[in-house]
């Protein structure tokens, strides 16, 4: 991305009231003692044990763990869509009390407005922020190109493939220039080929835009391919068991033997923890 584009996109900050200024080199995200317990009917579900994480500005961090370990719960709390039962989150130096255009959450199913075409979907957040029409068009145009959707500006979501919808959702998120992108299994519903392709695109976009990315996945190789760090969660109640730094050079090939070895090491750590937990549960049930 050219410097002139970055400057012009930054211009939209002037239109957005709750925009935090980017603080290069400081922690982008501070998660301190964040836990979550749900009351589900008569049942209490402990989804997250207190989680502490510091994520630097511009870091690509993958959250990895088995189904139900609280990854989405943590992402929702970081997005400000849910409140923690304890603890606090600071994003770009500001306490998180609710959603903000500075932290955008992308889901497995791209949440596009079905009645708007790609161009207008991408422009939507800018329109909400009061960005003038001409500027909106320029910014949307730039990000539609960034995600390789040029030529589909007038297509509606139902006319796009799953991968194209996800690209449009990424363009829409990038258009409002959040410092932090939260991605919850964004490629989980896609075929392996499209998934590989989008992984590469997300990595290029991250390298060009220096966003902080928190990326939830079940897929160990995907986590190792993308992450500067892979944070491994234990099964429910979710808690961090390991924080792996991934120093492999980019861009990474899923077939690279070092990547495959790292993924195997992480999977082993997760399996050991699960076995330990099963054993503890068995011992507990024997005692009772
Ligand atoms: N609104 C809710 N009410 C009650 N329980 C909930 C609620 N949301 C999540 N849970 C429970 O909290 C636990 C963690 O759920 P969460 O969706 O965060 O897990 P996850 O790691 O993202 O799983 P997956 O990988 O399958 O998406 C689960 O046991 C789930 O049933």
Q: Edge-to-edge strand order for the sheet containing 27-40?
A: 43-56, 27-40, 86-91, 94-95
Overall number of domains in the chain: 1
Per-residue pLDDT, 111: 84
Per-residue pLDDT, 73: 95
Per-residue pLDDT, 226: 95
| Cβ neighbours of residue 139 closer than 8 Å, sequence gap 6 or more | 8, 9, 12, 123, 126, 131, 175
Q: Give distance in angstroms: CA of 46 to centre of ligand 1.
A: 9
Residue 121 belongs to what domain range? 3-287
Are 91 and 28 a contacting pair, CB within 8 Å? yes
The SS3 assignment for 182 reads: strand
Per-residue pLDDT, 1: 36
Question: Which of 34, 73, 77 best tests ligand 1's pocket when mutated (most atoms within 8 Å of CB)?
Answer: 73
Are 169 and 119 a contacting pair, CB within 8 Å? no
What CATH number is given to the structural domain containing 24?
3.40.50.300
Are 199 and 226 a contacting pair, CB within 8 Å? yes
Provide φ and ψ at 15, rounded to 5°.
-95, -10
Q: Give distance in angstroms: CA of 53 to centre of ligand 1.
A: 20
Provide φ and ψ at 117, rounded to 5°.
-75, 175
Q: Provide the phi-psi class of 229: left if phi over 0, else alpha when psi is between -120 and 50, else beta.
A: beta
Q: Across the chain, which distance is largest between two alpha carbons, in Å?
A: 70
Q: Can you tell me which residue has the tokens 């139902």?
A: 158
Ranges of the chain with pLDDT below 50: 1-25, 287-288
Per-residue pLDDT, 29: 95
E strand or H helix that includes residue 54: strand 43-56
Q: Give distance in angstroms: CA of 1 to centre of ligand 1.
A: 37
Per-residue pLDDT, 236: 75
**Cis bond upstream, residue 228 (ω within 30):** no
List pLDDT tens digits, range 223-241.
Answer: 999 999 999 998 878 889 9
Per-residue pLDDT, 108: 81
């Amino acid at each position: 991305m050219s410097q002139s584009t970055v400057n012009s996109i930054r211009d939209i900050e002037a239109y957005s009231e709750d925009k935090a200024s980017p603080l290069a080199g400081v922690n982008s995200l501070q998660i301190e003692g964040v836990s979550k317990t749900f009351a589900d009917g008569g049942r209490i579900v402990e989804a997250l044990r207190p989680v502490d994480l510091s994520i630097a500005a511009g870091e690509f961090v993958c959250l990895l763990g088995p189904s139900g370990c609280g990854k989405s719960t943590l992402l929702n709390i970081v997005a400000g869509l849910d409140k923690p039962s304890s603890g606090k989150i600071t994003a770009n130096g500001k306490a998180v009390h609710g959603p903000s255009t500075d932290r955008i959450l992308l889901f497995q199913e791209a949440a596009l407005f079905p009645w708007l075409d790609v161009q207008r979907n991408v422009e939507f957040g800018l329109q909400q922020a009061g960005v003038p029409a001409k500027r909106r068009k320029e910014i949307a145009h730039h990000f539609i190109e960034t995600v390789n959707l040029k030529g589909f500006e007038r297509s509606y979501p139902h006319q796009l493939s799953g991968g194209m919808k996800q690209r449009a959702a990424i363009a829409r998120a990038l258009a409002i220039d959040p410092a932090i992108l939260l991605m919850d299994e964004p490629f989980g519903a896609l075929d392996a080929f499209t998934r590989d392709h989008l992984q590469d695109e997300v990595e290029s976009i991250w390298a060009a835009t220096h966003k902080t990315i928190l990326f939830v996945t079940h897929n160990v190789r995907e986590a190792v391919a993308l992450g500067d760090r892979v944070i491994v969660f234990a099964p429910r109640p979710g808690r961090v068991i390991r924080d792996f730094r991934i120093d492999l050079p980019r861009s990474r090939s899923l077939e690279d033997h070092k990547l495959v070895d790292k993924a195997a090491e992480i999977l082993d750590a997760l399996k050991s923890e699960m076995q330990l937990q099963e054993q503890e549960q068995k011992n507990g049930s024997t005692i009772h």
